[in-house]
Structure 1
Amino acid sequence: MTGFTSPEFDSQLQHLQKTIDRERLARIDAEAMADRARAELVRRKQERAFMESVAAAANQALSFREAIQYALEQICTFIDWPLGHAYFTTRTSPVQLSSSSLWHTAGFPTPDTFCRATEQCRYAPGEGLPGQAMARRQTVWLADIGEQEALLAQRGAWDAGLRAAFALPVMAGNEVVAVLEFFSPEPTPSENGLLALMAFVGIQLGRVAERQRAEEQSIHDAFHDSLTRLPNRALFLDRLNRALLRCMRDDQDNMAVLFIDADRFKIVNDSLGHLAGDSLIRQIAARLSSGLDPANGESGAIRGEYTLARLGSDEFAILLENIAGAAEAVHVAEHVLSRLQAPFAIGSQEVYCSASIGIALAADHQAADELLRDADLAMHRAKRLGGARWDLFDQAMHASAFQRMSLESDMRRSLLENRFVVHYQPVVDLRTGRISGFEALVRWNRHDKGLVYPNDFIPIAEDTGLIIPLDLWVMREACRTLRGWQEEFPSEPLTISINLSTRLFSLANLAEQVSEILESTEVDPACVRLEITETMAMSDADRALQLLTELKALGVQLSIDDFGTGYSSLNYLHRIPANVLKIDRSFVSQMHESEECMQIIRTIMLLARNLGMRVIAEGPETEAHVEKLVGLECDYGQGYFFSKPVSQEQARHLLETAPFERS
């Protein structure tokens, strides 16, 4: 029976063969799945390594260009494409894409004509492949350039042997800051996974751009004024120092500094508020910027290099380089003054704001801060001469400034050491010749230099603010002295006149300060006469009236000093709660020679009588002056005819001897 099989055996054999075939196919499928899984695992590891590499490079990149160059290399390596290039967005309007000149080529003979043509192209959003990526804010893929060659035809991509391309936008927030494009010599379809990976790369690179912009903004803010966007003091000094070094290296001195200070800024700031002050500063900066810019074609525009900066508050500075000499710097200063002549619009107000300008030339200067300091000194002299003008620094200013600094230092020390003294000038009743009181006048006993008179130190005290503690000390000392005299000479109804400086009169709590002095010295307030000038009373009339009312409520007398030299409104004058008008000495000294001065004195006398005030004539120096004032029925006289200001002991002697009494 050998060689023959039964049907049952054949059936079993076929079944077994099918089982073996199924198992073989299953093994093949399983091996294929394992291969695919291994490949997927490898791909994912590669993608992860690629993503980690890009992220690490983005975090470590010192600049955006460095990060872009690294990304070009890594993407080309990862996708095995030979060519990559980057565009950056321009910062001009309208925004375009312009070549960064950053490339990556790997073993592909890219024609120079293609690279040159690429670097010359600029794309608006939607134009060409890069513009499409910019407009869509997503990766744009060309699987086959031959089918859409119009997007790349202007650069000859097909002729260069390129067959596939894609463009990847780099996003910083919602803004496209760059577009990367890549090329392959083979047609290549897109893959969803690769597109997602490119989006990740764009985000990482965008963070580098954001970080660099934040760093650049921080650096910019550190060296620019936040209100005007002009260079600040630090940047100005840096540029000034560099310019000085160039001058010294080239043995030249063709540069200058203009120091500009707005003359009436404080008045605007105090009266209209800080927002108005900020608006004024911005408008001044804008006028200076446009006036100096040669592109505007103005006659005073600067021909050479220059830097305009805001140094702080209402101070600006201009650095002029490569100028012909002092005449050119003066010409620029005069142009600046003319630019500031027109009114400034602050809300509904029209405000005028001139400037004081100091000019310092580079000659004989070795350091930037010294040159700026000397321009500042010249500016202050221009301001002291009335403002709305320029002044040129000379060495005499430096000596004067050093003297002022020495005076200021000595004044501060003298206040601590109690080296100021009060002298007293008698105020005499012209009807009886009796001393009715004294005016307290400060003198400075300056170490071994003897007495220093007010004209030599009061202006410095006012500039530095020392005048406030000095005035308060004089007030306290004068009230204490008056209290002693009243106890010693109880029959004499003595008063003490005390001048209030402009700085002291501006104190918000002046009434509180005066009240404390009156209380601590136990002097009768009715015997204290506080003097302000006519100009002080009128400079801020409403505030002055309020403050004078507060002082009057303390029980003191009030006097208007130097009357007739200002511009008082008669309507306002009658509202001031003053007790005394003091006729300025300039009218008294000229009343015999000038009928006009005589008429002014008569008018003041009549005005005072109508307002219920008494009158003190300042400055009578001769018997004729006194007799004339007596004939006019003037109440009191205070001048050298009676006595110069004298020490406390000498004043006491005058009270004791009563040398001016009429028989």
Structure 2
Amino acid sequence: MTLESNALFFSRLVAQLADILGVDHVLAARILPDKQHARTLAVWSHGQQQDNFSYPLAGTPCERVIGDSVCFFPEGVCQHFPHDAALIRLKAEAYLGIPITSPDGLPLGLLAILHDTPLPDIGFADEILRIAAARTGAELIRQDMVQALETSQERMHNLISHLPGIVYRCRNNRDWTMEFVSDGVMELTGYPAEDFIESHRRSFADLIHEDEQERLFDEVQASIAQRSSFNITYRITTATGETRWLWEQGKVIFDEQRSDPVLEGFICDISKEVLSERQREEHERKLIATNRALNLLSHCNEMLVHAEDEDKLLQDICQLAVDIGGYRMAWVGFAMDDAQRTIEPRASAGAVDGFLDEICLSWSPNLPGGRGPTGMAVRSGTPQILVDLACDPNHTPCHDAALLRGYRSVICLPLKNSQRTFGVLVLYQGTTVPITNDEQRLLCDLADDLAFGIDTLRARQRQQRIQHAVMQIATAVTSRSGDAFYLQLAHHTASALGAGASFVARLSPSSPHMVETLAAFIEGKRLENALYDLSDTPCERVLRDGECLLSECSIHDMSANAREALHWVKAYAGRRLDNSAGKPIGLLSILFREPIEDPEFVSSILQIFAAGAAAELERQSDEAHIRRLAYTDTSTNLPNRSAFRERLDKILQQAPERLSLLFLDLNRFKEINDIHGHDIGDQILAYVAERFQRTLEEKEFLARLGGDEFVVILEKVDSQAAVQCVRRLQAVLDTPFTIKEQTFHLDVSIGIACYPDHASSSSELLQHADIAMYQAKQQASRYCQYQPEMGHDMASRLDMAKRLSQAIDDDRLELYYQAQVEISDGRLIGAEALCRWYDEELGWVSPGDFIPLAEERGMIGRLGDWVIKAACRQLAAWRDQGQPLPGQLAINVASQQLDDRHLMQTLKQVMQRHDIAPSQLCLEITETSFMSDPEQAIAMADALKAQGFGLAIDDFGTGYSSLAHLKRFAADKIKIDISFIRDMLTDTSDHTIVKTIIAMAQNLGLETIAEGIELDAQASALQALGCRQAQGFLYAPPQSHDQFSHRWLR
């Protein structure tokens, strides 16, 4: 954004925001002086600029923006504010507003985006609006500065216009050709100013008495040669023929932009004063003083307009006061808020001669240094003038030091902003001449302009710091997960605040006084992460109070161990990281080489960065929690089936030389569990797992598959070593278990399969170990190694594969349909298409048999194509019969299909053939399929979503989805697996997993649907947790197309 005209800036701003954020409406508004109304600066709606208007803030979301900093309604905003006429007229559904504030935090206005449809996620929009709000605030401040300067210039023009005389600028020629002459020329000469400037119809030299023209010209030229000012007295003839005596003071101005010098000065009528020399001299002195003050004010204002550095501005103003104002010494000081209320000199010029080093100035009335005119000026906020320091009744020690250096009188001018008097401009003269009212008024204007200029410079610098900090925030996190997030956040926090060191740390779960750094920087260099003790450090206060800011601190504020390394630290700022429940989970700390000058700014920026760090830390914690739930067996605290499969696949991907897999099945456990109940059974499983774990070595991986089945992975172990491990596992069960004074005897059957001797894949290895385990049950040793002849059923599988392939080609498969309903009222909202196969010889073949076989034999693509064609054909048939299916028909898509570009082409061709819209289908992709190749799955999902297909993640919770990938996956809903639904009423772990999945889906804006509902109690529990959709035998089993249409579509 560039500095543009007022209207054009805001018009382009709202148009660009609408384009960047893709929203329907954007408005920028400023709060009116009454604080009850606002007026739009620009409004953009549906691609067009709208007329600006004023509106009351009460009863609008804008009122909340001003009061609460940020206001966000993802949907239904009109229902929340039914009396907001502008909101109703725009028919907006969603609203996000960000305040526009001044550097000191006062509200100036607001930026708001509105959209005709819901906005579920505003992360990006929030960052963009904050940057735009900061830039808009800078623009409003700039416009206020321009307005203030224009007002000052107008005031100066009015002052010149009302001076009793002529202010002029003319060329150095015999005609005294005027380039500027004030309106006072009319009263003094009887001729209007335009006669001398615009038309040049009249020469000022023509008015000068002919006897004095040559003298006057020579005196002026002599002053020019000496580069000195001139004071001359002469007569003129007015338009009425009257003779008047004029006094003129002027000086030559040499401008590098032009070759000839010009004259500037002041002319007044001294006709009356000429009668009395004393009167004339007094008037001349006053005019000199007024002109001197006016000239000083003019040059100072010019300097203020172009000032960029505060210290240089103060020094230049002091120098101008000496060079142009003629003062013996000038200095500027600022009022401090320390215990002594010190006035600290910041700049000086002239005959300083150690004066400011010798005196101790204060604005406290209780200290000697605060009883003089300087302290009085700060306390009262009014000018203090002493015409004769030697005669001042309130004599202070600094008076003696002033008189010793030739200072005879003093003018103390307060520097004020809207809140307070923050400084003073002090001017010393070497004479005791009284100050005229005009001179005092001009000097007060000078002080006011200087105060405004200082305030403006500080506001501009603060705004630049805020903009820099906001840009650091906006670019702080290009990586959204892992170590990169914290590294970038720590680095940008230090950069935004100009700090020497920064670190992000999480609380140690084992010790409340220990933290583990996630990222640490000192002077831009990264430190290794480590554990730290927070005792007796500022960080300890952060954990206790939520925030700690030490604007100035010493080495004694640091722990004894860190004092040597952190001897350079002069200030500290830290903020606690809390999770959404308000529980401390970490901290963000910043160390400074210099004291903090703006604690409020540091606190606000630190708060923003801390919020981002806390959110990411909580997200990672939640992700780890879900991973633990998904990968841990709650009964035994062992890795579960998913963890086992992932571990085995990872090992086999590394192509080990040898690997043995043990498949363990507890004998008689089912009998014990059925007779004595699940509580006893769960305790036995836990004890068994503990014994197994104790006998295994560190590299031997133990997992529970479910029920009474366990597996052990032995890396780099041959069959002989595997047998030794088997005997150790069997031996630990020789001792019976005693629970509640009952004794239970168990033993274990173990099957052994070795890689690569017995299998080439993880599924084959597990299958062969399972086959060997069943063989072991028939043997006295209770263990058995897999032998190839055990796979005699392979021929039958090959036969089944051949028959399945033929069935696909001959269209001898069927689709059954299971209803999907709204839990609240049982209303049909869609259905799932389930493939069924009846073979003349094999009979009904279970999907659990033929679908894995299709995947194994590479037929899943053909099977998937058949399902797509049959599903679309049935949808068209129901539609043509006047019984269209409400909602969507869900069909399953295998992982192999996600890698096949043929899928999109098949979908398009089939749907065009049957005139089916993509929105009528929901493609279900299993979580494990999605995670087999997340990037490919995400790319294919984006393409399918772009075509209008519904997408669902099936069997959610049985695998582990990275939340970072899940957020990018363009799914509409998550399908909760039946394995969690089945026991959720009795198993707290399953209930927790279901609750977590529903909450996570809601946070991601996804719908949830539960499968396998068989009980009303399950449906009620799911509805209470926020799940609105379900399918299962409670509502209907899978049905043929005729049964389904008869039951649901009539």
TM-score by shorter chain over 0.5: no
**Normalised TM-score (structure 2):** 0.29
Bigger helix fraction: 1
Structure with the greater relative contact order (CA < 8 A, sep ≥ 6): 1 or 2?
1
Bigger strand fraction: 2
**Normalised TM-score (structure 1):** 0.43
